[in-house]
């Protein structure tokens, strides 16, 4: 009987997170809300307080937060097997879809219609990232200390300081503070870069943009335009934003590169969640952990702000792009329209413009 119950729970975990992986648009914040609705509200796997404790824990370790929440919730429902199944089920649909879109991009990305769509998407992506920055800043910057950390991180990032180093320094500050080209790239090197990103990526999935820009731009593997394209396609697909790594891997080394980049960026998250899941509920009671989380969150605000500043030239390349950005800003900030809907609208504008100009 016990074996049958274990199998039933494991199938349930696979169904829940497979479905969320297919339908959870909108980035990490939306993913977490849907996970809470499904696992707390509908199925009662855990209570809301315990869910929030798990969410706090994912902010204390690197990796994509909503994916790590899938692992934590799978572990609670079906043990160690549930941890693996929950994470894989959430990642796989998005990774497959992004891989397919990467193949389409390589084949058709330079055609006028595709180019017009991507050109229209770039300013919309910029607005969506700025919106995420605003919402995250309202939560993370709550006093003079965290505001100072955010501003310092912004300035240092714009000056060229490594994002990984800034996050590490912010964590140290929190602990010490008073209470309060391309296809020729070896796959091994590609795996190392994305594993390093996955092992040091704190905070929202949008911070991935900063990491990709620092790691890939410095090596001359990817320019800002292609980076925006990767994030745009990642936003238009359900599941974790970090499957943008699938797209980048495909551009750099084809299907093998897509597979290697995807596995490499998510693997550290599986290891870290497996290591921390048994002790998560003890963490929130430790003042040092709380201070560390506050410091890292404030630094992340600065990093996202730096990304927004750096991506402006590529996103706002002409008057049309500026107009799209203005319309997107009105929709996101004024009307509260979801970022995915805004980018779908921008895609429509791009297609219409390509048709009219053809």
**Measured at the alpha carbon of residue 245, what is the angle toward residues 76 and 328, in degrees to the nearest 5?**
95
The pLDDT score that the predictor gives to residue 76 is 93
Residue 348 pLDDT grade (very low, low, confident, very high; cuts 50, 70, 90): confident
Conformation bin of residue 196: beta by default, left when phi > 0, alpha when psi is -120 to 50: alpha
Question: pLDDT tier at 82 (50, 70, 90 boundaries)?
Answer: very high
> Rounded to an integer, what distance in angstroms lies between the CA atom of residue 32 and that of residue 16?
13
117: tokens are 């769509």
pLDDT confidence of residue 224: 78
Average pLDDT over residues 311-328: 85
Nearest one of 269, 215, 204, 194 to 241, comparing CA atoms: 204
Query: What pLDDT, on a 0 to 100 scale, did the predictor assign at position 64?
Result: 85
Q: Note the pLDDT of residue 184.
A: 43
**Mean pLDDT, to the nearest integer, of 349-355?**
78
Q: What is the CA radius of gyration of the chain?
A: 20
Which of the four pLDDT bands, split at 50, 70 and 90, describes residue 129?
low
pLDDT for 235? 64
Lookup result for tokens 């899941």: 277
Residue with tokens 């084949």: 107
What φ, ψ does residue 318 adopt, rounded to 5°? -150, 180
First to last CA, the chain: 66
| Better pLDDT: 266 or 296 | 266
Q: Residue 356 pLDDT more than 80?
A: no
Are 203 and 59 contacting, i.e. CB atoms less than 8 angstroms apart?
A: yes
Average of per-residue pLDDT values in the chain = 80
* pLDDT beyond 80 at 294: no
Instruction: Specify the higher pLDDT residue, 14 or 49.
Output: 14
Residue 236: pLDDT band by 50, 70, 90 thresholds? low
Q: What is the pLDDT of residue 182?
A: 45
Binned at pLDDT 50, 70 and 90, residue 229 comes out as confident
pLDDT at 176 over 70: no
Mean pLDDT, residues 255-272 taken together: 90
Q: How many CA atoms lie within 13 A of 278 on its CB side?
A: 5
Q: Encode pLDDT of 110-127 as tens digits.
A: 555 666 766 777 777 677
| Residue 144 Cα to chain centre, angstroms | 27
Contact 210, 163 (CB under 8 A): yes
Give the pLDDT of residue 179. Answer: 47
pLDDT, position 8 = 92
Contacts of 102-111 spanning 24+ positions with Cβ under 8 A: 102/233, 102/246, 102/247, 102/250, 102/251, 102/258, 103/250, 103/255, 105/229, 105/233, 105/247, 105/250, 105/251, 106/250, 106/251, 109/229
pLDDT by residue (tens digit) across 19-69? 988 877 656 766 777 788 789 888 999 988 788 778 767 877 788 888 999
Q: Which two tokens stand for residue 161?
A: 């300081």
Give residue 284's pLDDT: 60
CA distance 45 to 37: 11
Query: Percentage of the chain surpassing pLDDT 90?
Result: 16
Cα–Cα distance between 277 and 71 in angstroms, integer? Answer: 9
Q: 51: left (phi > 0), else alpha (psi -120 to 50), else beta?
A: alpha
pLDDT digits (tens, 9 = 90+) for 131-167: 767 766 777 787 777 888 888 888 888 878 877 678 7
Q: Are the beta carbons of 70 and 90 closer than 8 angstroms?
A: yes
Give residue limits of the domains in the chain: 2-357
């Amino acid at each position: 009987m016990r074996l049958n119950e274990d199998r039933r729970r494991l199938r349930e975990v696979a169904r829940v997170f497979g479905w969320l992986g297919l339908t959870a648009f909108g980035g990490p914040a939306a993913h977490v809300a849907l996970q809470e609705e499904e696992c707390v509200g509908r199925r009662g796997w855990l209570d809301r307080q315990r869910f929030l404790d798990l969410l706090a824990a994912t902010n204390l370790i690197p990796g994509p937060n909503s994916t790590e929440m899938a692992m934590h919730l799978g572990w609670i429902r079906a043990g160690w097997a549930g941890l693996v199944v929950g994470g894989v089920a959430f990642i796989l649909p998005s990774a497959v879809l992004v891989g397919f879109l990467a193949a389409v991009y390589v084949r058709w990305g330079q055609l006028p219609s595709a180019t017009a769509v991507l050109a229209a998407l770039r300013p919309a992506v910029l607005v969506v990232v700025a919106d995420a920055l605003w919402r995250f800043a309202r939560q993370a910057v709550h006093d003079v200390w965290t505001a100072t950390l955010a501003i310092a991180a912004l300035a240092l990032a714009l000056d060229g300081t490594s994002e990984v180093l800034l996050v590490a320094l912010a964590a140290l500050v929190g602990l010490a503070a008073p209470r309060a080209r391309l296809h020729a790239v070896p796959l091994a090197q590609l795996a190392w870069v994305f594993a390093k990103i996955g092992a040091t990526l704190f905070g929202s999935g949008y911070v991935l943009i900063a990491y990709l820009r620092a790691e890939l731009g410095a090596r001359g593997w990817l320019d800002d335009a292609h980076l925006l394209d990767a994030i745009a396609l990642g936003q238009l697909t359900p599941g974790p934003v970090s499957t943008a790594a699938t797209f980048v891997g495909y551009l750099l080394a084809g299907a093998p590169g897509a597979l290697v980049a995807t596995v490499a960026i998510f693997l550290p998250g599986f290891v870290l969640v497996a290591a921390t899941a048994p002790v998560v509920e003890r963490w929130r009671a430790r003042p040092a952990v709380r201070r560390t989380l506050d410091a890292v969150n404030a630094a992340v605000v600065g990093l996202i702000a730096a990304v927004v500043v750096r991506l402006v030239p590529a996103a706002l390349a002409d008057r049309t792009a500026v107009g799209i950005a203005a319309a997107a800003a009105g929709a996101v900030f004024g009307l509260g329209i979801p970022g995915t809907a805004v980018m779908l609208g921008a895609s429509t504008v791009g297609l219409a413009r390509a048709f009219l100009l053809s």
